């Protein structure tokens, strides 16, 4: 089998099928016990767009991401991808819907969650080969090209413990890309890293944005959100209190709570 050309389409985000928003979320509501953590969250994500979710700890950002990926089940609201699935959480969620949701997006967690006893290459090819049935040789060629893209070719046979935290997180990102999802979800991808390693991971995210990947990112890196995001949603107590283009939202927040949050962090 011939090696995959690193400029091959397999490494690019999936091509747009039409110009409807890739994702429409409406009325998302989730309660843990008596704690209403999402209270009617609505937003859209267009193809190729980067949406940043910001706001205080506990405001519901991670729960939104987990709901998009089928890891959490809200009691009301809909999550609709342009080419399916469309899941209405007010009705019972079928296993097929949950699997379809999981397959539309790939999540990169705060901690990379790599398998410790598998090499970098094995970590990256595991999902495509075992979950998606991609032939091994093809998965390996694609993994190698992706590792090359993030400057980690020479680490393909290393184990996670032999890598720095930033390298581990870059492998986590490559693992998500290898699944060729329509949507990438990032849950505070740099918050577990030492400050000197944050930049290398943010640079990869910025490059993915420039290449046209569609991404939803929960982040406390407000300078990064201001530079890279197309839209910023400010969460407060389970609602989107304020939203807008980063230039507007960061320089002219409409709500006092948004302003205080931004002033404290930026
Ligand atoms: P954020 O990402 O903005 O920090 P989260 O979505 O992680 O917020 O959490 C929102 C609220 O939901 C918090 O009060 C958190 O304690 C609560 N929460 C999250 N997951 C669970 C769970 N599995 N069980 C109970 N409470 C939870």
Q: What is the pTM of this model?
A: 0.92
Number of Cβ atoms within 10 Å of the Cβ of 15: 8
46-57 tens-digit pLDDT: 999 999 999 999
Beta-carbon contacts of residue 14 (< 8 Å; ≥ 6 apart): 180, 181, 182
Omega before 85 within 30 of 0, i.e. cis: yes
| Ligand 1 atom closest to residue 53's alpha carbon, by position in its atom list | 3
| Ligand 1 atom closest to residue 66's alpha carbon, by position in its atom list | 6
Tell me the Cα Rg of the chain. Answer: 18
Task: Give the pLDDT score at 1.
Answer: 39
What residue owns the CA closest to ligand 1's atom 21?
32
Average pLDDT of span 10-17: 67
- Taking CB atoms and a 6 Å cutoff, what residues make up the pocket around ligand 1? 32, 35, 37, 55, 57-63, 218, 235
Q: What is the ipTM of this complex?
A: 0.97
In 150-194, which residue ranges form alpha helices assigned H by DSSP? 165-178
Q: How large is the greatest C-alpha to C-alpha distance in the chain, in angstroms?
A: 59
Q: Read off the pLDDT band of 4 (50, 70, 90).
A: very low
128-172 tens-digit pLDDT: 999 889 999 999 999 999 999 999 999 999 999 999 999 999 999
- The phi, psi pair for 222, rounded to 5°, reads -70, -30
Whole-number Å distance, alpha carbon 60 to ligand 1 midpoint, is 6
What are the Cα distances from residue 177, in Å, to 2, 86, 145, 154?
21, 23, 11, 19
> Over the range 229-245, which residues count as b (16 or more CB within 10 Å of their CB) and which as e?
bbbbbbbbebbbbbbbe
What residue owns the CA closest to ligand 1's atom 15?
58
| Ligand 1 atom closest to residue 56's alpha carbon, by position in its atom list | 3
Question: Residue 67 pLDDT > 80, yes or no?
Answer: yes
């Amino acid at each position: 089998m011939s090696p995959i050309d690193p400029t091959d389409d397999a490494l690019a985000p999936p091509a747009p099928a039409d110009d409807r928003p890739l994702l429409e979320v409406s009325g998302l509501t989730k309660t843990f016990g008596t704690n209403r953590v999402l209270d009617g969250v609505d937003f859209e994500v267009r193809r190729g767009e980067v949406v940043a979710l910001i706001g205080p700890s506990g405001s519901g950002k991670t729960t939104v991401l987990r709901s998009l990926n089928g890891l959490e089940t809200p009691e009301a609201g809909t999550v609709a991808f342009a080419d399916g699935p469309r899941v209405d959480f007010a009705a019972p969620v079928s296993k097929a819907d949950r699997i379809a949701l999981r397959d539309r997006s790939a999540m990169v967690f705060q901690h990379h969650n790599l398998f410790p006893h598998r090499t970098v290459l094995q970590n990256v090819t595991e999902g495509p080969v075992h979950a998606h049935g991609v032939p091994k040789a093809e998965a390996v060629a694609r993994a190698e090209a992706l590792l090359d893209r993030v400057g980690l070719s020479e680490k393909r046979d290393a184990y996670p413990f032999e890598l720095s935290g930033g390298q581990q997180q870059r492998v986590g990102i490559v693992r998500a890309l290898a699944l060729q999802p329509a949507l990438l979800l990032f849950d505070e991808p740099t918050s577990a890293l030492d400050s000197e390693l944050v930049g290398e991971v943010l640079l990869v995210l910025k490059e993915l944005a420039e290449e046209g990947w569609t991404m939803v990112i929960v982040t406390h890196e407000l300078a990064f959100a201001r530079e890279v995001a197309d839209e910023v949603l400010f969460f407060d107590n389970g609602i989107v209190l304020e939203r807008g283009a980063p230039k507007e939202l960061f320089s002219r927040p409409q709500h006092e709570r948004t302003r205080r949050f931004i002033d404290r962090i930026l």
